[in-house]
Amino acid sequence: MKDARFHQTVHEACALIDYGETPEETPEIAGYLKAYRRFLKDYRPDWELIEYPMGNLEFGYAGTLDRYGTLYDGRSCILDIKTGQLHGPSLRASGDARWFMGIPINTHNKY
C-alpha cells in the first residue's frame, strides 16, 4: 500500500502537468504520470477545479476534489486520481460531489 507522501507526490506532479509545467518524474511515479498524460490526450479535459478543498457538514467529512471540468465532448467530469485502494468514505464523498454538481454517477476505469 502506498503512503500519504506518495499520494501527494503523484497529485502534485499531475497538477504541474495541468498547469503546463514539467514535474520531476521518478521511476516510482512514472507509470501514474504516463496514464494521466494518456487520459489528458484521449479526453482533452478543460479543468475548472484542480485539487479543490470541499466538505459536507451534514455528513461530517471534508476532502479534496481532485479535478472537475468538461471533457472534449461536452460531458462534465469529476476525476479522482487513485494511487492505492478505494475506500468507502472517499467513494461516498465523490458521489456526493457528483450529486451536488448535477453530474450523473457513472464510473469509468479505463486508466
What three-state secondary structure class fits 83? Answer: coil
Q: Stretch 70-94: mean pLDDT, rounded?
A: 78
Q: Report how far residue 47's alpha carbon sits from residue 93's, in angstroms, rounded to the nearest whole number.
A: 19
Q: Report how far residue 33's alpha carbon sits from residue 45's, in angstroms, rounded to the nearest whole number.
A: 16
Question: Could you tell me which of 57, 46, 69 has the C-alpha nearest to residue 93?
Answer: 57
Reported confidence tier of residue 103, pLDDT bands at 50, 70, 90: low
Is residue 89 predicted with pLDDT exceeding 80?
no
Note the pTM of the prediction, 2 decimals. Answer: 0.77
**Mean pLDDT, the chain, whole residue set:** 83
Q: Which residue has the higher pLDDT, 107 or 85?
A: 85
10-63 residue pLDDT tens: 999 999 999 999 999 999 999 999 999 999 999 999 999 999 998 778 877 788
Cα 9 vs. chain centroid, distance in angstroms? 13
Cα 59 vs. chain centroid, distance in angstroms? 21
Reported confidence tier of residue 109, pLDDT bands at 50, 70, 90: low
- Maximum mean pLDDT: which of 22-26, 89-93, 105-109: 22-26
Instruction: Give the strands of the sheet with 46-56, arranged side by side.
Output: 46-56, 61-70, 76-79
